Amino acid sequence: MRHTAYHIADLVEIFEEIPEHDYREKVELYEDNEETIQLLEDSLYIRLRMLYLEALFFLEEYEKFLTQVEEDFNFIFDRNIQRVRGRDVLKWLMLLKGVAHYNRAEYPLAIEMFGQLSRMYPSQWRLRWFLFKAIWYDHLSRHPLQRSLAKLGAIFLIGELVFLRPQLTAVPQWLSYAFWGQILVLAAYISAFYVSIWMRTLWRMRSIVRKSNSISSG
């Protein structure tokens, strides 16, 4: 539903009454009353602004979210706002921004954001996990042919083991050897591809962590 304009004194209360997961309602209420919301004092403005940004994010309107969130970083820095609704507001917005880039397959931008978070919060392993995933899929996206071959090889390997292996007792021994040789080649290719991606991911992640450690110690 679309909303008529509300009096400035009523907006915060109305926002708080919207059910937590009714994200569409929050977006429509904010956008219908944006000019009025901008007149609120800083603490109330950023509170409603956070509810709006979170609603955009959870509605998966990532492009709109990413466009909107940039101005909020400047706002919280200029006003020195640290916590909103019990959350570290800078960390929360950066995390949402990184995940939005990740979900849009914009892996270099996600890596940049998760790398900054890792430098700011080096002891939080959950952020390292986000960073690892972004780097992993960034490497995979750079090798689409090899990735497709590895997937096809895995499907072919499973199919052969499930459907052909039971028939080996009725075939000549040389054919059995050929079957297992083929299985080993496929398994070696798949393993080599994913192990190489894993090693490169770890190396790149460690370089980011070392960079964060050198910054914090310096």
Percentage helix, strand, coil for the chain under 3-state DSSP, each rounded to 5: 80, 0, 15
Whole-prediction pTM: 0.79
pLDDT digits (tens, 9 = 90+) for 115-161: 999 888 888 889 999 999 999 999 989 888 877 777 777 776 676 66
> What angle is formed at CA 102 by the lines to CA 98 and CA 108, rounded to 5 degrees?
80
Q: Which of 104, 125, 155 is the last residue of a domain?
A: 104
Residue 96 counted as domain residue: yes
pLDDT band of residue 200 (cuts 50, 70, 90) is very high
Give the span between the Cα atoms of 46 and 112, in whole angstroms: 25
| Domain of 201, in residue numbers | 141-217
Give the span between the Cα atoms of 166 and 179, in whole angstroms: 12
Residue 2 counted as domain residue: no
Give the span between the Cα atoms of 169 and 175, in whole angstroms: 10
Mean pLDDT (whole number) for 95-107: 96
Length of the chain: 218
Number of domains in the chain: 2
Residue 74 counted as domain residue: yes
> Which residue, 71, 66, 17, 19, is CA-closest to 45?
71
